[in-house]
Amino acid sequence: MLPSLKLFSDFGYKNVEERILDNSTHFIKKLLEIGIHPVLENCKRENLSGIVSFKHEKATMIFEELEKKEIYCSVREGMVRLSPHFYNTKDEIDIVVDEIKSILLKFLLT
């Protein structure tokens, strides 16, 4: 646990918070671009957290397909729940959104 705490400390606790909020904001924006409406899409930045969730009728299928790509999330009450953290990059978030888009396109074509 000490190495984890050192990582947070070295990065700076305030920087951790800012990066998490930046990542959540970016994630929400990118999901909206592909037609997915996250639960907190209209939430002010100061009320966001490191959790981005969206409801979808095929939430379990999205979860299973992402897991096959080693993209880990969860499904809670019909919602896909993702947790971008401070160590995630915007490029990684973009990859996840591209995968979700691909999964949904595949679903529509079958």
Supply the pLDDT for residue 3: 87
pLDDT value at 77 more than 70: yes
Mean pLDDT of 69-96: 96
In CATH, the number for domain 2-109 is 3.90.1150.10
Q: How many CB atoms lie within 10 A of CB 41?
A: 13
CB 61 within 8 A of CB 107: yes
Beta strands in 42-88 (DSSP E): 52-55, 74-76, 79-82
For residue 56, which amino acid is it?
A: H
pLDDT value at 110 more than 70: no
pLDDT in tens, 86-103: 999 999 999 999 999 999
pLDDT in tens, 13-44: 889 999 999 999 999 999 999 999 999 999 99
